[in-house]
A and B are shown apart, each in its own frame.
Chain A
Amino acid sequence: MTEQTLAPRSPDVAPGDGGSDGPAPRPTVPPRPESHARRFSPGWIAKLILVGLVDALGVYGIIAAAGVESWWIVAFLVAALAVVNWAYFSRRAVPAKYLVPGLLFLLVYQLFVMAYTGYIAFTNYGDGHNSTKSDAISAIETQNQERLPDSPAFPVAVVTRGDELGFAVVQDGKAEVGTADDPLAPVDGATVQAGKVTAVPGWTVLSFADIAGRAEAVTALAVPVSDDAGDGTLRTQNGSVAYVFSPVMQYDAKTDTFTNTKTGVTYTPSDHGNFVSAKGEKLEPGWRVTVGWENFTTMFTDSRLSGIFLKVTLWTFAFAFLSVATTFFLGLFLALVFNDPRVRGRKIYRSLLILPYAFPGFLAALVWSGMLNSKFGFVNQVLLGGANIDWLGDPWLAKLSVLGVNLWLGFPYMFLICTGALQSIPGDVMESARMDGAGAWRAFRSITLPLLMVSVAPLLISSFAFNFNNFTLIYLLTGGGPDFVGAPVPVGSTDILISMVYSVAFGTGSNDYGLASAVSILIFIVVGVISWIGFRRTRTLEEL
């Protein structure tokens, strides 16, 4: 459909539609003496205050973004502020006044992030490639450090503030505090006893017991001595004495290479965002670069990944299809059973039947995961009299359990919509079928089911699309497990594509945002195709 075909429908434009730019001829309205927007009404003042607040926030954001050199954010904020001010202070842009807030949020948190997903899918963004090249260089300098033979020892106090750990030392008679992110800097008001800091305002000094409890974090902590990463860092092995460590890796900006000062090996940047030696030895961390179609091709060609990816994809389709099929048939069956007016107490049955649907889905998944616990769960211990069936630990039983729980969650919805659809089938159709001698089964097959499908089919398609991405159920019930043995990503037998995205991006082990985004893009395509099929059926597009 085009604008032309729509045009005949638009005579219903309200007269005096101030801001309409459309082709509709303007009806002659007596000129108004003055716009309402120019009157100092309470609404006008409220608008002024709200837009003022947005402007203030935006200007703050522009300054803050410029401070951290996020030029994209600056550009977006400038454009957004211009649009907001134009929309609310122009007399012409009436529809814009109503659309701008929603569209701005949509633009950032839906459209932009979709496009950004597309971009990340073509990068190696993830653990080891989290940031820019300059960040990687300073990280390599900080991480590859050794204690110099003659470096001074500092009696150190381990201090903490919130989640942050830091060191407090005395340097040149002055107490200084620093953390992994902030280099050592002098503090005022610290108490020093025998060359060691014992109290710092705003910080808690850890006792020996505390240090022992967090030994790993304390020994891993490296506090930069100054702003220049080349000056080295302060580290401790025991929480009481710290030494200055100096970089072993020297970066040469002219040749863009790293040189190991002890072995003399040079490392040159590769096109995968790492410094690599001639022998192929990599320096970690690397930085973010675009890698083309690599994330997509590894899914299909990497022998360790392609099998898993295929299994997960097949299971995703099987899970979505079987979930719709089982819930629909049970719901339809029950709807038929209770569609008989001779059954008494139908209201009670119905209100109890929809209880699983009313129960929040995330809680249901968690409750069932406890009930299906193989050792202590209700199902094994009580219903099966002490059986030891590993419902969630065996690959096939776990799949069955997921489907069973989704059946519990989903059939009441199907029951409700089937009941609604059955009741809208006119009685005379059934009557005439019976007159023509159709039996109960024949009448159901040839009359009831086709009529039912007309109204229910679009809902089945959207139910399929919903289950295709039913992350909450899978993740909270099985966590995707049982895990595939030896897989390069933490993915298991009941993982569907969307929960694979979660595991790859945020799961334990290494986080690979690039690969996760590539999987997301594939889901986008599948969901798009499903919805397109749905739209063709419902022809929603024609009703705009």
Chain B
Amino acid sequence: MAAIDPTVASTTGGTGGTGDAGRPAGRVNDTRLRGRRWWKEVGWRHVVGVVVIVYCVLPLLYVLSAALNPNGSLTGSNDLFSTVSLSNFGELFGRGFGGWAVNSLVICVVTAIGTVLMGAAAAYAFSRYRFRGRRSTLTGLLLVQMFPQMLAAVAIFLLLLQLKDVFPVLGLNSIPGLIAVYLGGALGVNTFLLYGFFNTVPKELDEAARIDGASHAQVFWTIIMPLVTPILVVVGLLSFISTYGEFFIASTVLQSNSKFTLAIGLYQWASDERNAPWGLFAAGAVLAAIPVILLFLFLQKYIVGGLTSGSVKG
């Protein structure tokens, strides 16, 4: 419960000594509320806040405690922080966790980079060129992005089953094959975000570069790309996060334990009722959650801006 202490402190601080917390007292007339009125107008908000934070944080504390508990069973994890040891973390890597983490990182990083490059290139073409079929392609992309790729997962599975005979590397149970599937969703999801951002870069810049003799590729790589780096980072990180949590397609494509991503591997542990390596799962969950939580804290302001239109969480 250590995480809650600061807020509790701030609550009591507010009740007891209004205005005496190291401030030059009496310099302004103190209009702050006291006593019952304070409770009625402000105090209850702190009560709500504390209750909600307990609801928010308890499962997270629970998983952290289970990760540190060497006992390793569901029952043993119920006494929060009764014993603390890192033995689960040590055991993780002997059980394939390291391989899953590497698979997840490779898949997510390659997908993110591919998504950014292809999305940026497409946005550049749409934003800077007027060509036949431009409008219909844009409208088509808008339509396609409504449908999550997951809806066609059965067909993806059967396509990869057949591709296995031609390009084994793009077929079932292959990590490059899964990345290729994810890249198929790259244009649909992100082009609009990028397109809007590219339109805000003044065209006079490219024109100036063109007059100086730059080719279209030079304009793209040396003028536009550096100017849109922030949105590229956001698109890349959002792609990373959603790929990281993707379960449906990954679990149909990847079939052998050594190819699993973290999502599939940890699901195997958590759903293993007989052996129930719950401590291992919890330790793996803590490690797997850290990169995503860090990315989220980094991305927070973009999410608040409604940039992601509600479908980031995977």
Contacts and interface: CB of A to CB of B under 8 A. Distances in A.
Interface residues of A, number: 123
Nearest to B76: A376
Contacts of A460: 310
A229 interface: no
A37 interface: yes
Interface in B82-137: 117-119, 121-122, 124-125, 128-132, 134-135, 137
Interface in A520-544: 520, 523-524, 527-528, 531, 535, 540-541, 544
Contact of B206 (A14, A360, A463): A14
A359 interface: yes
A117 B151 contact: yes
Contact of A459 (B206, B216, B309): B309
Nearest to A37: B215
A382 B155 CA distance: 45
Nearest to B303: A416
Interface string A372-398: 010011100110000000000000000
Contacts of B158: 116, 120, 125, 513
Interface residues of B, number: 121
A153 interface: no
Interface string B50-65: 0011011101101100
Interface in A91-143: 94-99, 101-103, 105-106, 108-114, 116-117, 120, 125
Given A110-B184, A125-B158, A420-B304, A541 B139 contact: yes
A358 B293 contact: yes
A165 B256 CA distance: 17
B2 interface: no
A73 B152 contact: no
B248 A472 contact: yes
A279 B128 CA distance: 69
A61 B100 CA distance: 29
A212 interface: no
A524 B158 CA distance: 19
Chain B, interface SS category: helix
Interface string A491-528: 00000001001100110000001001100100110011
Contacts of B241: 360
Given A338-B49, A349-B49, A466-B310, A116 B184 contact: no
Contact of B270 (A113, A369, A516, A535): A369
Contacts of B148: 469, 527
Contacts of A19: 129, 131
A337 interface: yes
B309 A345 contact: no
Contacts of A447: none
A48 B74 CA distance: 58
A110 to B, nearest CB: 5
Interface string A412-429: 110011011000000000
Contacts of A416: 300, 303-304
B42 interface: yes
A420 B154 contact: no
B248 A354 contact: no
16 contacts: A10-B130, A73-B166, A95-B125, A109-B185, A110-B144, A114-B147, A116-B159, A344-B13, A349-B53, A367-B63, A367-B285, A410-B313, A459-B310, A463-B310, A520-B152, A544-B135
Which 9 residue pairs spanning A and B have beta carbons closest together?
A109-B184, A36-B215, A358-B296, A102-B118, A345-B10, A531-B146, A98-B125, A376-B74, A116-B155
Given A14-B210, A360-B289, A370-B278, 19 more contacts: A21-B132, A22-B131, A22-B132, A24-B130, A68-B166, A95-B131, A101-B121, A120-B155, A356-B59, A366-B266, A370-B74, A409-B313, A420-B305, A459-B306, A472-B248, A472-B314, A475-B247, A540-B142, A541-B142
